[in-house]
Structure 1
Amino acid sequence: MEEENGVELLQRYRRDRRVLLNFLLSGSLIKKVVMPPGAVSLDDVDLDQVSIDHVLSCAKKGGMLELSEAIRDYHDSAAFPATNNTGSTDEFFLVTDPDFSGSPPRRAPPSLPVYTPSPIMSSLSKSQSLHSTQNQELSVDDIDDFEDDDDNEEVDSIRVSRRLTNEANDLALSLPSFATGITDDDLRETAYEILLASAGAAGGLVVPQKEKKKDKKSRLMKKLARSKSDHVVSQSQRAPGLSGLLETMRVQLEISEAMDMRSRQGLLNALVGKVGKRMDTLLVPLELLSCISRTEFSDKKAYLRWQKRQLNMLEEGLINHPAVGFGESGRKANEFRILLLKIEESESLPSSSGELQRTECLRSLREIAVPLAERPVRGDLTGEVCHWADGYHLNVKLYEKLLFSVFDILDEGKLTEEVEEIHELLTSTWKILGISETMHYTCYAWVLFRQFVITGERGLLHHAIEQLKKIPLKEQRGQQERLQLKNLSSKVAVEEGFEDFTFLQSFLIPIQRWAAKRLGDYHLHFAEGSATMKEIVTVAMVTRRLLLEEPQFATQLAIVTDEDQIESYISSSIKNAFAGIAQDVDATADSTHEHPLASLAEETKKLLKKDSTLFLPILSQWDPRATAISASLIHKLYGNKLKPFLDGVEHLTEDAVSVFPAADSLEQYVMALITSTCEEEIVDEYWGWDPISPQQRHGSSIVEVYRIVEETVDQFFALKVPMRPGELNSLFRGIDNAFQVYTNHITDKLGKYSLSLTIKMPFYCNFF
């Protein structure tokens, strides 16, 4: 769950880091920039692997910057644990997981190297804003003079972002983790390679020509001058057709141009000599390993990480979570893992022997991997579809990364302009990833809902509800899709051990639980208003309807109706809100001159008014009894507080007497709410009474009135206080008024039908 929470912060950090590096390298702060071997321009350099400290140091010195040195410094520093530069020796970070590191070493630790922190450029001159349209020169001395008047607004936005990110803590897919340690970046880059292979199957994959830029300022820096309301690539600026859309996807997925060109060329080379072979039937990671060499990378460590990613994808897709068991070919799984290790080991051997071992291992790996990938899984014929990622959770994680490209990279709460075209393009990946219509709607609803939780944009919530409603029920799905979804299950580690989840459960249970948690305390989570509460209730009930069709979970939900579910939300939230009010009243009891029970009655009445005004109209759409349930529960909770006081009072002091008017005011308001929702029911009961029936001589409503009066009289005389004539007269007047109100209410509701209820004496009766 913590890994899921760090994704958004990591993406924001990487974008800010690239912006800073682009600004430094494209401006006049550095006299000369020397490209690494194999790179022609900055577009060929992976800026994620450039040390910012090294670049800033060169900027301070005013000397020449060699990017190969900056890349080397980045990788050297990555080998050490992270520090916070606070000077404290009580805090440290571990590179490895201590649970898997074994016992600590017995030898003495090595001496610490002398470390001189690199100068950090803390600010820029205000006149040299990134949005400035004037070509002004910046000196290194101007770096320390920058002040930003919008610091407070930026801090506030960061606080809101952190709060919304914390809201996503409870929202994580119920899918197994990857044993190979595949990261979010690995999934994103592999997803783009899958997209290229799908586009290549349609004949739309070409390798763009490199054009050396005359202007040092990159296109990314030019985009920074636009406002958030603008789109990443406008329709007029984007190249037409599939090539332009792929370029948009490259930008959305944050893929460098160098990686894009390598992947395109590798996939095209993989088809050479394979007549009649479609690109979407290729074993993509294996083909890229075979067609992309070390010389195409400017840095060896970057190549090793790229190779490790491809090997991990093969292992996760074909070995760790296969959709079809290996059976007699289980021995090949062990051989497969051995070959993967040998490919990694070949990089540590001399160049000649290492290349020979790598080539032989790739040939052997192909002999094992291709038959595994072409096993029939989804009812198709062998060879028509390449199942290089049988484990469906890897497929849906890759598809999830593709779906995240629908958001504007500069305004994550908005959909990009090309969202419809992106959807159409993503359908081409369904064949490779085994995505069906139901899976698409489910994944897309999850992506939209999660983005809503992070950004708080209600528009995304509306889109998520639309996708949830598009998910077909079981009887609406085709036979092949029902069979496919039935076979999609995963075993996830939980606190009690392991639990099996179907595909829909993996995606919908987190959404349903997130919504239920907020609705279970809606007075807290929707305290500022009910703007989004209606949509959240819809999300909870729609996901509940879909989960009712799933095994195991259905047995838990079937015994609870929609009305019962709404009642549980009301009960939980009312109890939490009342407990908070009671605690606040107790905390301020010493500073006020009012009796705590009187104050509690007033605050409880305010709670009920807010509940009936803001929340109950929404909940009543799903359960007409919502108002009566809320009012009766509040009446009971306050009664539990009031009863010990009534049992213990011995004299009607001024302090004790002050409780009764407040309690009576609360009770009158409670009864008014209940009466307003139940008045039609009372009339229906009257009409259902047969006045000449010997078994039912009285209407049930009048029986209830007599019961209430009887209980009131018993409770009155049970008070252990002296009774005066004034209190007795008040009791009698109250009873008389109750009967009058009931009688008037019944006769008013009868209206023109009152005459027809007059019992006429039969004509043959003899009164003498």
Structure 2
Amino acid sequence: MDAASMLELYRRDRRRLLSFLLSAGGGGGRALDLSRVDLDAVSADYALECVASGAHFNASEATRRYFDERRYPIMIGSSSGNSYFLLSRPMPSDSSPKEAAPSIGPQAPVQDNSSSTGQPTEPRDFFRDALSTSGIGYDTEDDKLADISPQQVNKVDILSLGLPRLTTELSDDDIRETAYEVLLASLFVSGKVHFSEEKREKKHKFLKGRRTKTEGSNPSPQVEDGYAHILDLTRVQMEISESMDILTKRALRHISLKTVKETLDVPRISLQLLSSVGKLDFPTERLRGQWQKRQANVLEELLLFSASLEYDTSNTLRIVLSKLKSTEDWVVTVPEGRVEVLTIIERYNTKLCSLTKKFDIKDETYHWTHNYHFNFRLYEKLLCSVFDILEDGQLVEEADEILEITKLTWPILGVTEKLHHIFYAWVLFQKFSQTGEILLLKHASLQIREFRLYHDVKEIELYTNSFICSVDAYGGNKVLSLVDSVLLKINVWCRRQLGNYHAHYSKNNYSIFEATLNLVLLLVTNSSEDDFEETMFIESPVGSTPELKLIHLLIVRSIHAAYKQLTL
């Protein structure tokens, strides 16, 4: 996980913890309304003090404490006084440092001059010497990575799919929230959701959005029988608040009327939201500004950076989007001005959608092929909603039902049956690599089997294989199809584990070893170039199948890795 994703995850967890603390005991005996509190600017120390003492939480004081704390270095209190955290290491008797602490960088290894030649002595690798004597070049990339310890192997960045990067400042949370909007729009268009106001049972704020997997739901909008529980569960899994859920449903309830003659796409969903949501629909100005900037960034990502637009068109669109991004000016703009801006953007989107389709398949839109890097990120977020947010590594009981409503987004996002299987295998395997839950690995293997068995017509096959990813493979950066990228990443990860199975597996996790081996044998046709070169030199039994040759190769690798560990 990159630094930006880690930061977003940290901020989201911090907000949830603060909300839990303050809702549970920060009101001084009274109900505490946090809807207008910016939890990102709340002092955690102040919140803990309020809970511990039973004092009433003061949002202004919490914000003041937060910014005061940022002005001073991190410190801890102790009986002997306050202690500061410094990068340098001053002597206790010295005065405080008067210069900035030096940056910490990688240090050169200490040379061992114990040998007579002055060169460091390294343990001799007899196994490699024997191979070298036989003329075998055994210095492959996977062999080097087989020496990585089990604790470090998961940190190797091989589970990045390599989709083209986003050009705008859309965060992980932005992608997640946009994905939920697309899901709701698909439900409205399919007729699965019918909007009507209903009174709902009052619920303590602390319990809002949290329930067990078997608890029923009573959402404000009326949903067709069989979908209310699943949609509410999906909302909770994707961490969407009830207020934002209701706001989005109100804005999208008439979107099906606008898509009778036109195919629905993500820009049209954003435009519908912008035209239907007003300033007073949000509890705070900050939330409204964040929401509007997200919609503007989505439109900019999908429309402004299109290679199909002429320069003059792009320049005009950039000016219009800048007005939309200026949230303060947007509020004071007269309604006619806002309508004009949205109309201009809609015309540009219509112009793009009218261009000749690449594959001429049913329901194909311009954004299927030109903005797949964004659409597929949305679909990944939707698929991840099958993982229980309360039990890491576990699928919710209603996973199959969630997948069914997720499939309603296929015409919007350009997903086919084969792409669904490969994406679902990908998110399952990613979660397995993080949690080690064997059930996820078995489900991923099942999805890959179904992917291999499914055959599309020629046009759809060409479409499925047209998406490009950039991955680090074969000793350099390579351009592969999305399908090949997924299979290669899974294959490489499994082989790196099995290439040192003596260290990674034991009797306690033998079932994971067996499932990993079965998966890598399923992918035996997706061998890397290093594997091909290596099998040319390592003799296998006569008449061996590709599967047996691979098993023999993994055994040799693991023996070599185990022997090397013993000689260190």
Give the TM-score band, short-chain normalised.
0.7 to 0.9
Match of 2:19 in 1: 21
Provide the C-alpha distance between the structure 1 equivalents of 2:184 and 2:302, rounded to a whole number of angstroms.
19
Q: Secondary structure at the match of 1:175?
A: coil
Instruction: Quote how far apart the aligned CAs of 1:440 are.
Output: 0.6
- 2:341 corresponding residue in structure 1: 361
Q: Which amino acid in 2 is paired with 1:2? A: D
**In 2 relative to 1, CA 524–280 (structure 1 residues): closer, same or farther, beyond 3 Å?**
same
Cross-structure match for 1:232: 213
Offset, 1:175: 2.1
Structure 2 partner of 1:262: 247
Give how far 1:283 is off: 1.3
1:10 maps to a residue whose letter is L
Which of 494, 499, 502 lines up with 1:523 in the alignment? Answer: 502
Query: Are 2:428 and 2:440, in contact at CA under 8 Å, matched by a contact in 1?
Result: yes
In structure 1, what is the equivalent of residue 432 of structure 2? 452
Query: What's the CA shift string for 1:344-378, capped at 9, x where partnerless?
Result: 23x34495358776544333222212322454546
Which of 160, 179, 189 is 1:172 aligned to? 160
Match of 2:393, SS state, is strand
1:536-564 Cα offsets, whole Å, 9 max, x none, are 1222232343x47x9x9999899894444
- Verify: 1:308 aligned to 2:293, yes or no: yes
**Pick aligned residue for 1:182 from 156, 165, 170:** 170
Q: What residue identity is the alignment partner of 2:284?
A: D
- Pairwise CA distance, 1:72: 6.4
CA contact under 8 A between 2:471 and 2:477: conserved in structure 1?
yes
Q: Which structure has the higher relative contact order (CA within 8 Å, separation 6+)?
A: 2
Aligned with 2:466 (options 481, 487, 492) = 487
Q: 1:336 aligns with which of 317, 322, 343?
A: 317
- Residue in structure 2 matching 1:400, options 374, 380, 383: 380
| CA apart distance, 1:578 | 1.4
Q: Compared with structure 1, are the counterparts of its residues 481 and 277 closer, same or farther at alpha carbon in structure 2 (3 Å cutoff)?
A: closer
Question: Which residue identity lines up with residue 450 of structure 2 in the other structure?
Answer: K
In the alignment, the residues of structure 2 paired with residue 423 and residue 3 of structure 1 have an alpha-carbon distance, to the nearest angstrom, of 30
CA distance in 1, matches of 2:431, 2:375: 20
SS of the counterpart of 1:499?
strand
In structure 2, C-alpha distance between the alignment counterparts of 1:45 and 1:309, rounded to whole Å? 20
Report the CA distance between 1:222 and its aligned residue.
Answer: 7.4
Report the residue type matching 1:184 in the other structure: D
Matches within 5 A, 1:294-443: 294-320=279-305, 325-326=307-308, 329-345=310-326, 347-349=327-329, 352-353=332-333, 358-377=338-357, 379-380=359-360, 385=365, 387=367, 390-443=370-423
Q: Does the 8 A contact of 2:18 with 2:39 survive in 1?
A: no
Q: Secondary structure at the match of 1:308?
A: helix
Q: Residue 219 of structure 1 aligns with which residue?
A: 207
Cα deviations by residue, 1:418-475 (Å, 9 ceiling, x for unpaired): 111111111111111111111111111111111111111111111111111111269x
- 1:185 and 1:270, CA in 2 relative to 1: closer, same or farther beyond 3 A? same
TM-score computed with the length of structure 1 as normaliser: 0.55
Alpha-carbon distance in 1 for matches of 2:290, 2:176: 14
Question: Displacement, 1:65?
Answer: 4.3
Which of 487, 503, 519 in structure 2 is aligned with 1:539?
519
Residue of structure 2 in register with 1:205 after alignment: 193
Cα deviation, residue 202, structure 1: 1.6
Aligned AA (1:478): V
* SS across alignment from 1:532: helix
Contact in 2 for aligned 1:269/1:291 (Cα 8 Å):
no
Is 2:460 the partner of 1:461? no
Under a length normalisation based on structure 2, what TM-score does the superposition of the two structures give?
A: 0.72
The equivalent position to 1:503 in structure 2, one of 482, 486, 491, is 482
Could you tell me how far apart the structure 2 residues matched to 1:376 and 1:70 are?
A: 59
For the residues of structure 1 that align with 2:238 and 2:488, how far apart are their CA atoms?
28
Question: Hey, what does 2:456 align to over in structure 1?
Answer: 477
Q: Which amino acid letter does the alignment assign opposite residue 51 of structure 1?
A: V
Distance in 2 between residues matched to 1:289 and 1:79, nearest whole Å: 38
2:392 match: secondary structure: strand
Distance change in 2, residues 1:490/1:248 (3 Å)? same
Q: What does residue range 282-301 of structure 1 map to in structure 2 within 5 Å? A: 283-301=268-286
Name the counterpart of 1:2. 2
- Which blocks of at least 5 consecutive residues in structure 2 are unaligned? 77-82, 89-99, 101-149, 538-545
Query: Cα deviations across residues 189-226 of structure 1 (Å, max 9, x unaligned)?
Result: 11100100110012233446475765536335974xxx
Confirm whether residue 247 of structure 1 aligns to residue 232 of structure 2. yes
TM-superposition CA deviations, 1:97-127 (whole Å, max 9, x none): xxxxxxxxxxxx9xxxxxxxxxxxxxxxxxx
Identity level (%): 28
Pick the structure with greater CA Rg. 1
Task: Let me know the Cα RMSD of the aligned residues.
Answer: 4.3
Match of 2:114 in 1: none
* Counterpart Cα distance in 1 of 2:20 and 2:532: 57
- Tell me the equivalent position of 1:196: 184
Alignment CA distance shift 1:430-1:509 (3 Å): same
